[in-house]
Amino acid sequence: MNSSEKLKPDLRVYFVIGPDHAGDRSFVEVAEAAARGGVTALQLRDKTGDTATLIAEARKLKLALAPFGVPLIVNDRVDVALAAGAEGVHIGQQDMAPADARKLLGPDRILGLTVQNAEEIAAMEPGLLDYVSIGGVFDTASKQNPHPPIGLDGLADLAEAAALRAPGLPICAIAGITVETAAAVIAAGCDGISVVSAIAAASDPRVAAGELRNVVDWALDARAESA
């Protein structure tokens, strides 16, 4: 398979989780419950674990997600993704350059990139990427963000810029998104939402994932009908 034939990632409900996000629960069990509920992609984000720990975590997640066909994306660590057989890697602006990540990953694995402003969108190399994540949109307690939230208006502007820079490249948004704001995020021009606390902090992650999936699917249908 070459990159032009590769299926686009399904970003409708993109769940980001690691050991620090699940409280006193097993984050693998939370991930499995979310997959049962309807998440369409899952990212392992563990900024403190050593390499061996990260590989073990990724392999456990792969096993948990396999029955649901949910792809596993590893935050930052190309080596961990390759060792664990993950479907892809997500990188930020301070991580490995997309060209280097793609060289190591090969053409068939997913590569996503975070962008926060118009300058970073202009600098993207669309041919290297499978999706772009815009954020942070709202305030969030799950990650330290030195930049102020861009809000829905800022998101709409950046989503439009990304669509012009890379037509057809899937777009998701991240930071502070909830079931109450998910539809507005889709209406702003995104193909999906990336969430942490909206699922990880829920008393029932399966139910929370299902509610988000229903809202996103409704919002995507509504946008398509109005186009």
Q: How many Å apart are CA 13 and CA 22, to the nearest integer?
A: 18
Average predicted confidence (pLDDT) for the chain: 94
What pLDDT is recorded for position 8? Answer: 79
Using pLDDT thresholds of 50, 70 and 90, give the confidence band for residue 22: confident
Token pair of 158 as six digits = 């950046």
Q: How many Å apart are CA 5 and CA 19, to the nearest integer?
A: 34
Residue 204: CB partners within 8 Å, gap ≥ 6?
Answer: 33
Q: What is the pLDDT of residues 196-226, one digit of tens each?
A: 999 999 999 999 999 999 999 999 999 999 9
Asked if the model's pLDDT at residue 6 lies above 90, the reply is no
Closest CA to 185 of 159, 148, 209, 161: 159
What pLDDT is recorded for position 7? Answer: 63
Phi and psi, residue 112, nearest 5°: -120, 155
